[in-house]
Structure 1
Amino acid sequence: MLKIKKSLLHQTFAKLSQIKVLVIGDLILDEYLIGSVERISPEAPVPVVWVRNEKQTLGGSGNVVQNLSSIGVNGIVYGRIGNDKAGESLERILLSNSVAKEDLVLLKSKTLPTILKTRIIASHQQVCRVDREEIVPLTEAEEATILETLKQKIKESSAVILSDYDKGYLTPSLIQSVISLCNAEEKIVTVDPQVSHFFLYKNIHIMTPNHHEAGKALGKKLASDSEIESACREISERITPDAMMITRGEKGMSIYERKTNTFYHIPTVAKEVFDVTGAGDTVITTYTAFVASGMSIKEAALVSNVSAGIVVGKLGAATVTQPEIEDALRTLGYLDEAV
């Protein structure tokens, strides 16, 4: 059984505040209207939700930024918002999550709205979700502007996360250009992929699809360990990453180190699944930050698995903290406290 030395964990915690992770992807504003239901509407057979509380939080690649902040890592953020109130809210929340003004590089569209997803919650149950978005790819001119500033920002970063929600920001040409820049600067690149772009992420450090995404990309169902291992090898042959991670829901996650042809199957640690929203964001965030701070692939994967087990027990796109990670590792028997 893999265990992480307490001294290594604390050394890594100390390094987290010294690094910057650059996040590139689709920014989304998540809005929650929370209330109760006491009657059915006389206008239609639908519940009337009496809203008692409202909150807005970061979704999409913004949740990656939120996760970084929660574990003490500063972020550099690239994304697109609209010239609207939702965009103002998203920008304000980003600045409150360990992102310096000069590290917030937002393309403000005059024609596209900020992507806004409104969830109506009654008695801890989601009644419905309302999405407001227009999916339009970046223009060549916009990509050129982004890449010009990225050349410097990548130098300032310890790692780069591509958080792809297929909303138009990460175009095929931008994906390839960013990876080329990162490789030239010898920066770690990690990817939370979209199936439509799956085999464009070549020569990266790691990709972290779930088993549904990986199966869809390959045109097959992935369930058993052997099927997962075969998929990891097949994908790795096509994109040549350092490692592949496939998250598997209640079966935990599987990691493949390509150069050593080694597999690790880590069982799930979630005690109670309340909401899986954002679990993938937590996985790639914690993995990237801990690898960039000196942990091995296997150690960082274990931390990310434990972190995901924590967030699925919370409502919405939740985050984890350093004390929660340490407590969970100890409780689960993954922490070696010997001096």
Structure 2
Amino acid sequence: MKIKKSLLHKTFAKLSQIKVLVIGDLILDEYLIGSVERISPEAPVPVVWVRNEKQTLGGSGNVVQNLSSIGVNGIVYGRIGNDKAGESLERILLSNSVAKEDLVLLKSKTLPTILKTRIIASHQQVCRVDREEIVPLTEAEEATILETLKQKIKESSAVILSDYDKGYLTPSLIQSVISLCNAEEKIVTVDPQVSHFFLYQNIHIMTPNHHEAGKALGKKLASDSEIESACREISERITPDAMMITRGEKGMSIYERKTNTFYHIPTVAKEVFDVTGAGDTVITTYTAFVASGMSIKEAALVSNVSAGIVVGKLGAATVTQPEIEDALRTLGYLDEEV
């Protein structure tokens, strides 16, 4: 399969004209980067001499970051704490193609902003420190969210549910969001959590990896036939337009339910440095390109190529339009005829 260059450029032009609504668990990723030259005299652990610090968007925030990187404006719903980490997260979101009026944050007075601190020495992660309290939204908080959500869905071209199982996407909120989207004929794409797996009824597509899909079904998934059987079984239970199962070094498999058609797309990653955030890149690029007019198969190919790019970078990386076009051309997926 090849994508016509004219279609790719037409889609690129549309990306800046759409808005994608991202609903999910916001996380602030912090990196302390340095070197190790000695072992601590206090305990048999390395002493990391920190030379650089940075903060980036994690969780559903990485989806927003990916949208911004390919030129798409985002609308964001999530929860933060009343703390410095929350202030940082809000500031970074506003610098990633999110207008202030499109940043709808529930600020908790009792819960901290989820903060994951990674200590890295010589490109190796020494340890990770997590600060979080996982508490579901209350009924009152859900009601407050739903007051404005209906209008924001109308303003969106598509909706992504980015579920990290940190309490924001409760079962009732998931069902309410999907119902509102279906009423407005907006596509819903889902990066799922196993605990909520079969709650995502009547969506456009779900994009679990093969471990998540297998865990949800209580079986291991390895061969093409096992993946195809899993896609059908899941689709019978949640009736999506399509199912996508990402398969690591085996690429991804896509099932279109209405036509009973499968596509197995091989991985294109040449060298894997870090798989962090690859799933976010897949659902982001797929959603944006479908919302901009590409078919399921075409958007899946773009998302697969995009994932191949980001796993070659360190950390929760993103991809750009020129990188996508260059990769499609290099891999032989771009039809240069206009």
What interval of TM-score do these two structures reach, taking the shorter chain for normalisation?
A: over 0.9
Unaligned runs of 5+ in 2: none
Q: Deviations over 1:103-162 (max 9, x none)?
A: 000000000000000000000000000000000000000001101100100000000000
CA distance in 2, matches of 1:149, 1:317: 30
What secondary structure does 1:78 align onto? Answer: strand
Q: Deviations over 1:245-300 (max 9, x none)?
A: 00000000000000000000000000110000000000000000000000000000
CA distance in 1, matches of 2:111, 2:280: 25
Q: Deviations over 1:183-230 (max 9, x none)?
A: 000001000000000000000000000000000000000000000000
- Correspondences of 1:217-256 after superposition (within 5 Å): 217-256=216-255
CA distance in 2, matches of 1:43, 1:142: 46
What secondary structure does 1:106 align onto? Answer: strand
What secondary structure does 1:286 align onto? Answer: helix
**Residue in 2 that maps onto 1:173:** 172
**Residue in 1 that maps onto 2:111:** 112
CA distance in 1, matches of 2:26, 2:162: 9
What secondary structure does 1:42 align onto? Answer: coil
Q: Deviations over 1:74-111 (max 9, x none)?
A: 00000000000000000000000000000000000000
CA distance in 2, matches of 1:40, 1:3: 54
**Residue in 2 that maps onto 1:82:** 81
**Residue in 2 that maps onto 1:137:** 136
**Residue in 1 that maps onto 2:199:** 200
CA distance in 1, matches of 2:298, 2:124: 35
CA distance in 2, matches of 1:338, 1:182: 37
The alignment's TM-score, normalised by the length of structure 1, stands at: 1.00
CA distance in 1, matches of 2:3, 2:147: 40
What secondary structure does 1:196 align onto? Answer: helix
CA distance in 1, matches of 2:283, 2:116: 22
Residue 177 of structure 1 deviates from its aligned partner by 0.2
What secondary structure does 1:99 align onto? Answer: coil
- Correspondences of 1:1-339 after superposition (within 5 Å): 2-339=1-338
What secondary structure does 2:110 align onto? Answer: coil
RMSD: 0.3
Unaligned runs of 5+ in 1: none
Q: Deviations over 1:37-87 (max 9, x none)?
A: 111111111111000000000000000000000000000000000000000
Residue 316 of structure 1 deviates from its aligned partner by 0.7
CA distance in 2, matches of 1:69, 1:19: 12
What secondary structure does 2:160 align onto? Answer: strand
CA distance in 2, matches of 1:48, 1:272: 30
Residue 326 of structure 1 deviates from its aligned partner by 0.3
Corresponding pairs, count: 338
CA distance in 2, matches of 1:136, 1:234: 31
CA distance in 2, matches of 1:35, 1:303: 35
Residue 338 of structure 1 deviates from its aligned partner by 1.3
